[in-house]
Structure formats: structure tokens, C-alpha cells
Amino acid sequence: MHSGQELLAKNSHVINELHAWAQELSKKILLKTVNLYIVHGNIRDFLPHRDIAGGFAFVRIRDYISELFR
């Protein structure tokens, strides 16, 4: 089993491409400082996102969040 620090280092190239709030959330979850998060507002909105391959798309926020934890 990997420690949070190891997972953070292993996935840093992906995490660094996320929006600032998603980076913070990912780091807190990997380091096990949080295990519950609440999303409020209109989660059916779309978010501009550039993936690690350089592609750009507008994705649904709820889909974006669900992809963080796969």
C-alpha cells in the first residue's frame, strides 16, 4: 500500500494540471487530511479543462469531480 506522499509524488504531473481548487482537494484526499467533501452550487455547470495531452474541453463539474477519484 502506498503512502499519501508517494501517491502525491507519483501523480503530481496530473494533479498540477488541475484547477487550483481541484489540486487542493486532491492533495487533501491523498494525504488523508479529509475524507468528506461537500459540493454546493450548480454542479450541472460546465468547467473549462485542459487535459495533460493538451486537449481542451468544457466538462460537467460533477463529471470532473468524479474523474478525480478514479
Higher pLDDT among residues 44 and 46, named by residue = 46
Q: Which residues of 12-35 are buried (b: 16+ CB within 10 A; e: fewer)?
A: eeebeebeeebbebbbebbeeeee
Q: What is the pLDDT of residues 19-35, one digit of tens each?
A: 888 889 888 888 888 77
State how many domains the chain has: 2
Strand pairing partners for 50?
A: 56
pLDDT for the residue numbered 15? 86
Do 22 and 6 fall into the same domain?
Answer: yes
Do 18 and 32 fall into the same domain?
Answer: yes
**Residue 17 belongs to domain spanning:** 1-36
Do 41 and 27 fall into the same domain?
Answer: no
Task: Check: pTM over 0.85? Answer yes or no.
Answer: no
